[in-house]
Amino acid sequence: MTDLVLLHGALGDATQLAPLATRLDDGRRVVVIELEGHGATPLRDRPLRIESFADDVIAHLDRQGIGRADIFGYSMGGYVAMYLAKDYPQLVDRIITLGTKFHWDEATGAREIKMLNPAAIAAKVPVFAAALEALHAPNDWKEVLQRTADMMEGMGRDNPLKPADYAAIKTTCLIMLGDRDKMVTFEETIATYKQLPNAQMAVLPGTPHIIDQVDPSLIAYLLKK
């Protein structure tokens, strides 16, 4: 059976996908990859970029001896998965995304980075700041936020995936969005789905954006289809 790779979202880590991974007991290997600077994976002396995340996934697949895989990506992880399907289709058998923001422009980037101000988070939402600090230790959570904000600002100026890129992706795709997702719009999700030549779309009932509030059994069921 085709191996399955799981990618977390921005500011997340591998442990957030553990409830999903434990439900994928259909006999194939399941690999959870933690992206640079997230969780305990060290920050390197370079900016965070979708392109470098994709390179790291490829390196991880090589170390694991995985030549081709299905890739599930939550939020930013789905964007990385789609980028891999565009530039490295030989490595990807199927793409499944959940709550992925595909549309980026300067206004989108500016709106997203407003929520990534470390000083404001520490002052106004100290519980969240403490959670981020614990999640990303020994990395400096404030540095992770700043580099993530810089990445999103750059995506707003020059989206790594243009609308025309999706039309060239021949990989089988399942694009999923929760009906209560307040971070990703139906419009951008449907527009991307329509661009992809070999895609299905699923709207998940009672499902918000935050991965900790998503029913892992539902996602596992759809990943096994």
| Tens digit of each residue's pLDDT (9 = 90 or more) over 24-47 | 977 889 999 999 999 999 999 999
Superfamily of domain 3-102+160-223, CATH level 4: Alpha/Beta hydrolase fold, catalytic domain (3.40.50.1820)
Quick one: pLDDT at residue 1? 76
* Predicted local distance difference test score (pLDDT) of residue 65: 93
How does strand 92-98 pair with strand 172-178? parallel
- C-alpha torsion angle, residues 214, 218, 221, 222 (rounded to 10): -70
pLDDT less than 50: residues of the chain = none
The one-letter code for the residue type at 138 is: P
Helices (H), the chain: 18-21, 50-64, 76-87, 106-113, 118-124, 126-136, 141-157, 163-167, 186-195, 216-223
Q: What pLDDT is attached to residue 225?
A: 65
How far apart CA 112 and CA 168 sit, in angstroms, is: 28
The CA-atom distances, in angstroms, between 14 and each of 5, 63, 97, 201 are 11, 18, 16, 25
Residue corresponding to tokens 């089988």: 172
**Pair 73, 80: CB distance under 8 Å:** yes
- The Cα 148–Cα 13 span in angstroms is 14
- The reported pLDDT for the residue numbered 174 is 98
